Structure 1
Amino acid sequence: MAARSRTGDQVRAALRAVEEAEASAAEKAEMLMEIAMGLQQKPRAVEDLEAAVELYGKALEICPDDLPLLAARIRARLGTALLATPAEGPEPIEQARDAFQAALGVLAGEGLDEEIAEAEMNLGLALQSLAGLGRARMQDAIGAYQRALRTFDRKRHPKEFAILQNNLATAFLSIPFTDERSKMREALAVQAFEEGLKVVTLVDHPSEYAMLQNNLGNALQYVSSSHRVENGLRALEAYDEALKVRTPRGAPGEYANTIANKANCLANLPDDPARPEAGNPLNVAAALALYREALAIFERFGEPDKAAAVAAAVDELTAEAVPPARQANGAA
C-alpha cells in the first residue's frame, strides 16, 4: 500500500510540475516521457510500471499532431512498459503490439536505424508472447527479429545481436513439431544460439552469455537426433558455462532454473557413455541433489509453479531409482 501511495504521489507531483511549467506542449510531452522512463528503468513495484504507462498516455494526449516522430517515440516506449507490466490476460501485450506497429509506421520513414530495429525487436517479443497464447503467428515474430538484425549486426551491436539470436532460437523451438521441417527448425535454433555465443563473452556480456548457454543446453537436450548422448554431454557443458554467471547468491532464480535443467539432462545420461547398458545411478543421484536444491530455492522465492514441476520430477526420478522389490514393499 505504501509503494502504491508513494508512486501515486510521484505521478501527481510530476503531472503538476509539467502542467505548471513554462514550456511548449512538445516539451511537456518529452518531460512526461522522461519521467515515465525513469519509473520504468528501475521499478520498485508493479505500480511503477503502471504509472509509467499512465504517463506515456498523458504524453501522447498533449503531443502536438504536427510532431508524429515524437508521438512514435512515445508509443515505442509505451509498448516496452506494457510488455514489462505483469498481467493475467493478453490485453496489455496486444496493446504493446499495437503501439509498436503504430510507432513503426512513422519510424520507418523518419526514425533512426537503431530505434527502428529496437521497435522491431520489441514487436517480435510481443508477437512471440501472443503466439504462445494462440493470438498471433510465430512466423511474424521471426520476421520482426530478422528485420531488426539488418541493423543490430554482430560487429556494431553484439549485445543486441546475441539477444535477437536467442529470441529467434526460442521462436523456432516454439513452433509445434508437426511437419517435415521441424528438424530443420531445431537445427536453426541450435545454430542461432551458437551464433549469439560467437559475439558475447563471459567477461564483457555475462548476463547474455549465461542466457544463451542455458538455452543452448535446453535446445541440445530436446533436439531430435540420433546423437542423444553426445548432445546431452554438450548440454552439460553449456549449463556449466551458464553457472559461471548464475550463482546462488548473485542470481538465485536463474541459478535454480539452470541446475534444474542440468538435473534433467543428467537423469537421462548414462554414467559411462561407452557403456550405456550399465545404467546411470550416479547421474540419477546427482540429478536428485540438484533438483532438491532448485526446489528449495523456488519455494523460498515464491515460485509455486516451478516448485511443483521440480517436486514432480523428484518424485518420478525417486520412484524410478527404487528397485522393484522395494517399490512393492513400500506400496504394501
Structure 2
Amino acid sequence: MHEIELRPQPAGIFALPAAHLILPPVADASEALQALLRGDGAADVPSQWQFFVAAARGDVQRACELLPTDDQPLTRYNRFVLQPTAQCYDEVKAELTGALAALLEVAAYCAGVVDAIADEFQLDGELLAVALAAAAAADLERQQHAAAMDKLRQAADACRAPSPLLAALLLGECADVLLQTPDASPAAAAQLYREAMQLADGCPGSLVRAELWMKLGMVYQNSANGQRGALLEAVSVYQAALHGGITAAEQPELFAQLQNNLGLAYLSMPAVESSSQLRTGVAIQSFRHALTVYEKETHPDMWASVSMNLANALQYAPSSHPQDNLIQAVEIYEDVLQVRSRARDPVAYALVLLNQANALAHLGVFKPALEKLAEAYKLFHWYDHVEQADAAQQLVDQINQRLSDVRQPAASAR
C-alpha cells in the first residue's frame, strides 16, 4: 500500500496544481511545514520541497524541473499533478495503491483527465477534505448545491485539527455556495464566514482572513436594505480587514475592492443624525483610495465604476464650496464617458449622461444639461429602461420649470 508518510500535508491550501501535490518526508522540517500550513508561500523550505513552492507561486515549469528524478510512486504522482495527461494517468494508476491511488483520481478529475469522481474516499484528515472539496465541485457542476454544501461541511470538519486554514477556506466556500442558492439566508452565510475567520486567526499574514472579512462585509451590505445596523456591521468588517494589514502596495486588488465597498456602505447609510453627514466625506476618501489602484489604463471597467461612485458622492457632499465639488463631478463624468462609450454600452453611457446632467443643472448650466438629457432619454427609451427614462424626463421638467421661474420675474419687470 502506498501510504503518505508525512502528515499533515499543506494540500488544498494553495491554488492548483499545488493544491494536489504531496510533500515527501524530510528530517527537521517541522517549522517549514507549519509555515506552509499557515499559507506562507514564501516560507524557507528544504530543497526537497522547492518544487511545491514553485508550483504554489504558479511556476509549473520550474516545479517540474525541481521534482526528484527518481521513479518512486510519490514522485510519479506529483509529476502527473504537474503535467496531467491521459497516458501518464494510465501508467501511474496501474502502479499506485492506498491513499496515493485515491488522490490520483481526485487530481485526474480536477485536471479534466477523467470525467467522474467518487462520493466516498478511503482517506482521512486534510487529504479527505481535499477529495470531498473536489466532489463538491462536481455537485456544483450538476447544480446540486445542497449536496455540495454537505460535502464542504464534512471536508471542513475532517481537517479542523490538522489543517485549520484549509478548514477556513472550505467553510468560506460553503458560505459562497449558500449565497448562490434561492432564498439563501444571509445570517447563515455570515455565521459560516465568522466560523471560518476564527479558524484562520492562527495564520498571521494570510490573505484568507482579509478575504473572509470582505465577503462577510458584503453579506451585511447586500442584505441591509438601507438598515443602519447592518450597514454599520459592514463598515466595521471592512475596516477590520484594512486594519489587518491590507495595503495598496502588498494586496492592491483586495485593498481597492475593500475601499470601494467601504465607500458604498457609508453612502447607503440613512442620515439619522447631523454627524452622519461626515460619512459622505469618508466615502469620498475611500473612493479616492480605491482609484490609486484602479487606473483607467490598467482597470478601465473598475476605474469607471469607482469614478462614478466618487462623482456621485461629490454631488451630494455637504461642503462650504459645493460648486467646486460639482465642477469636479462634471469633469469626472466626462472622463468616464471615454470608457463607458455609447458604442460599447449605450445604457451605461446614458446613465453617465443622466448623472452629469444633474450636476450641470445644480451648477445652473442648463443648456448642456438639457442636451445630455435628451440623448440619455432617447437611449433609455430605445433599450426599454423605463424607470431611467422617466428620471431623465423628470429632470428635464425640473430644469424647464426653473427656467420658467426665472423668465417670469424678468417679464414682469419689463
Within the candidate set 387, 391, 411, 1:313 is matched to 391
| Offset, 1:122 | 0.6
Within the candidate set 177, 181, 186, 2:271 is matched to 177
1:18 aligns with 2:112: no
Residues 231 and 107 (structure 1 numbering): CA distance in 2 closer, same or farther, change over 3 Å? same
Q: How does 1:288-299 map to 2 (within 5 A)?
A: 288-297=374-383, 299=384
Decide which moves more: 133-142 or 98-107.
133-142
Please say if residues 201 and 209 of structure 1, whose CA atoms lie closer than 8 Å, have aligned partners that are also in contact: yes
Who is 1:28 aligned against? 131
1:130 aligns with 2:223: yes
Who is 2:324 aligned against? 230
Unaligned runs of 5+ in 1: 1-13, 40-47, 272-279, 300-306, 326-332
Who is 2:356 aligned against? 262
Residues 259 and 78 (structure 1 numbering): CA distance in 2 closer, same or farther, change over 3 Å? farther
Provide the rounded CA distance (Å) in 1 between the counterparts of 2:322 and 2:374: 21
| Offset, 1:234 | 1.0
Within the candidate set 216, 223, 235, 1:142 is matched to 235
- Higher-Rg structure is 2
1:124-172 per-residue CA deviation (whole Å, 9 max, x = no partner) reads: 1111123325395322211111121133211011121111111111111
Within the candidate set 252, 255, 264, 1:161 is matched to 255
Within the candidate set 292, 295, 298, 1:198 is matched to 292
Provide the rounded CA distance (Å) in 2 between the counterparts of 1:82 and 1:105: 19
Q: Report percent identity of matched pairs.
A: 27
Provide the rounded CA distance (Å) in 1 between the counterparts of 2:193 and 2:367: 52
Please say if residues 267 and 287 of structure 1, whose CA atoms lie closer than 8 Å, have aligned partners that are also in contact: no
Q: How does 1:69-88 map to 2 (within 5 A)?
A: 69=164, 70-83=166-179, 85=180
Who is 2:38 aligned against? none
Provide the rounded CA distance (Å) in 2 between the counterparts of 1:191 and 1:135: 20
| Offset, 1:77 | 1.5
Secondary structure in structure 1 of the residue aligned to 2:338: coil
Who is 1:242 aligned against? 336
Who is 1:100 aligned against? 193
Provide the rounded CA distance (Å) in 2 between the counterparts of 1:138 and 1:151: 22
| Offset, 1:195 | 1.6
Provide the rounded CA distance (Å) in 2 between the counterparts of 1:129 and 1:136: 13
Over the residues paired in the alignment, what is the CA RMSD in angstroms? 3.2
Decide which moves more: 177-186 or 103-112.
103-112
Please say if residues 380 and 386 of structure 2, whose CA atoms lie closer than 8 Å, have aligned partners that are also in contact: no
Pairs aligned (count)? 284
| Offset, 1:296 | 3.1
- The TM-score normalised by the length of structure 2 is 0.60
Unaligned runs of 5+ in 2: 1-113, 406-414
Within the candidate set 264, 281, 296, 2:367 is matched to 281
